[in-house]
Structure 1
């Protein structure tokens, strides 16, 4: 959500930020609604004051035996006008709030400009990509091993669902446990096991609602299945005032995630790249306003460490203005190398949202003992997507005979197993 005061003070800067997002100017419409609402509020205050004054005059007239009919008629008219103006103000306010809620966060000054992913900027590469025309994609490897069953997933649930069996199922579990342990034990995140269903307010707070309802799954009870643990973790501070000295808060969760993949028809239809249900380790930080930039760099490094420990080649890129998510003011994507596709594919996205989500959630902080509050800053990052990490391990550690070497970092989670083969 955007700060109306900032839009009033500098509408040109607001429109420039929207323009960098590829959107048209909105300050004129916003400020027009704002002026109408404030005018209605002023009129309400004046009418309420006059009603109170006239009511006193009625009482005085009656005590003095004078005719009060004109005053009584005036109070009755004021009551009708007050009710009408209250409804008008509420309607204008709802329209203004809806408009503000539909607009994305403004990009930070150092975010590269660009219309789409073609404007993204590569920052660094780690590891040497393996290039081989003989490299198989993960679904070919999984089916040959007899441990990745897309037909069974489709029979049970439809397209974009997969059944894993045996050692591949254990490998996916091992990857999630390894990543969560790393972030908790070494990176200082607090492990959280949040609900997998949330109310409208929580989905609104992090920016999924109302604009992206079609990307979510909704239950018959009206709850939303979480598309990422960012939603419940970030909302743990909703409607709260935190002590600035207690920040940053760092939380991590390993959860299933559910996405409808609206608009993804024809994209990654084979394999596990794009699923309706998948596991992910999510990192969320809540900071003071002056801490968020450093925390963003730290969070990205935490995600990169996962891939370094697993010896997976990757690159980190800064997303341009046309490729960032709705709530982000700045985003780094980490893309892992997939030899089977001979391409880098996204495996983590780390974003700082400034106070954008905090305004929607009414999450504030203040120095201990101080009365003045300010909105916190929120950050989220994949640490990392478990299914895509499984894909990367399979493709990067595949052997000519179709077996898969288990990375050393995962072997303690696999009971010491160092290779997955069809006869294992």
Structure 2
């Protein structure tokens, strides 16, 4: 973290210096100014980029730094853009993980007999007339879906259960916009340009939000909080939009879609609080999925799975018996000051009134489509789906989901056509 901050401080100092080599040299010799960024430090940054399997732009940064030091002020903006693409630092415990996550725990709550006979979600939901995803491309687009009847009610029950769970832990509910400026999304660590971007961009230049974490973080942009306000914890329900697609067989159906509903947790805290806050997020998620009675496992993710903003990250994968696979249903990340520096989120330290960058934590309480897959595949019993006990109060104490009756209009239309 300190090394990346050193790069940014160095750039700020170079901006303040006059565009002559002699002036820069004097600044290097001045004990009160920031020391020059050394090749050793750049080497360390490059090792972190390689470890995280991120785009290696360090050679370009070296070249641009040389140009700026020579007084080429036109390169400063390009240098700043490249520095902002560097990933966060990596937690020391992850350095020897390689490319594989570490399984920290496995939780088993259901005895699943004869798993070979378990139906996959799409087959199960379609047979109960609760879901449609086929032949929707002409009018709703690829990777769209409809949830109907009791399955739509189950979605709302999950949302209410998740909100009840997280608000008990001091999270304040917010309603957030789905359309955001690209600067906010970029500041949170998701690229809005390029061939591999997952972001939908509108004709206005604004973007559809990939997760409410972005809107929540953007709400606190340029805010200066007091230390007494921290940790500040908020939650939101929103639609999430992702341009990503997948042709993998195990990710068919609603496992990977372009839009879905999610309950997100977000916190702003001090550097001293952030690791403990991440543990709280993780424990909330674990408790929530325990109460839902799923079989799941907790993973500590390796550097290559952290993306750009995360310093460390936990994933939770549920066993999906119909697919015979573990599928990710939740995660939580400590982004340290990566997002806060880009959004100028600070707090005033009580001891000396100094303004410091805060840390941000994010976590998924529930991501609906994949959780529905895990629940239906785990709770299926022939032609009925048992509803988890904790969700029943949000479904008028209904205990099971059965086949949805055909709507009467279907038969009426057939009758009219047969008489012509």
TM-score range, shorter chain: 0.7 to 0.9
CA distance in 1, matches of 2:145, 2:250: 13
Does the 8 Å CA contact 1:278/1:386 hold for their aligned counterparts? yes
Is the Cα contact below 8 Å between 1:152 and 1:163 reproduced in 2? no
Match of 2:393 in 1: 412
1:157 matched to 2:140? The reply is yes
- 1:99 and 1:210, CA in 2 relative to 1: closer, same or farther beyond 3 A? farther
2:334 is equivalent to residue 333 of structure 1: no
2:374 is matched with 392
Q: Structure 1, unaligned stretches of length 5 or more?
A: 41-87
Equivalent runs, 1:226-265 vs 2, <5 Å:
226-262=209-245, 264-265=246-247
2:61 alignment partner, one of 30, 33, 38: 30
Give the match for residue 186 of structure 2: 204
> Corresponding residue for 1:21?
52
Indicate which of 283, 288, 296 corresponds to 2:265: 283
Render the CA deviation track for 1:167-200: whole Å, top value 9, x for unaligned.
111111111111012111x221110101111012
Unaligned runs of 5+ in 2: 11-35, 406-420
Structure 2 residue corresponding to 1:8, chosen from 33, 37, 45: 37
Q: Which residue of structure 2 aligns with residue 97 of structure 1?
A: 80
Whole-angstrom CA distance in 1 between matches of 2:368 and 2:226: 34
1:25-72, CA deviations, whole angstroms, 9 ceiling, x for partnerless residues? 7656535534543553xxxxxxxxxxxxxxxxxxxxxxxxxxxxxxxx
Indicate if the aligned counterparts of 2:212 and 2:264 stay in contact, CA closer than 8 A. Answer: yes
Residue 23 and residue 155 in structure 1: after superposition, are their counterparts in 2 closer, same or farther (change >3 A)?
Answer: closer
For 1:168 and 1:34, locate their aligned partners in 2 and report how far apart those are by CA, in whole Å.
56
Q: Partners in 2 of 1:158 and 1:414 — Cα distance?
A: 30
Equivalent residue for 1:124? 105
User: What does the per-residue CA deviation read over 1:289-310, in whole Å, with 9 as the maximum and x for residues that have no partner?
Assistant: 1111111111011111211111
Is 1:169–2:200 an aligned residue pair? no
- Within a 5 Å distance, the mapping from 1:341-360 to structure 2 comes to 341-360=323-342
- Paired with 1:385 and 1:200, the residues of 2 have a C-alpha distance of 23
2:292 alignment partner, one of 305, 310, 316: 310
1:59 aligned residue: none
Q: Is the 8 A contact 1:8 1:31 kept in 2?
A: no
Out of 220, 234, 256, the position equivalent to 2:203 is 220
2:328 is aligned with 1:299: no
Aligned partners of 1:223, 1:299: CA distance in 2, in Å? 30
> 2 CA distance for matches of 1:403 and 1:24?
48
Alignment TM-score, normalising by the size of structure 2: 0.82
Q: CA deviation at 1:112?
A: 4.8
Rg larger in 1 or in 2?
A: 1
Corresponding residue number in structure 2 for 1:58: none
TM-score under structure 1 length normalisation: 0.82
Deviation at 1:344, TM superposition (A): 1.3
Q: In the TM superposition, what is the alpha-carbon distance from 1:406 to its structure 2 partner?
A: 0.6
Give the length in aligned residue pairs. 371
CA contact (8 A) 1:179 1:306 kept: yes
- Post-superposition shift, 1:371? 4.2
Deviation at 1:98, TM superposition (A): 1.4
Secondary structure in structure 1 of the residue aligned to 2:275 = helix
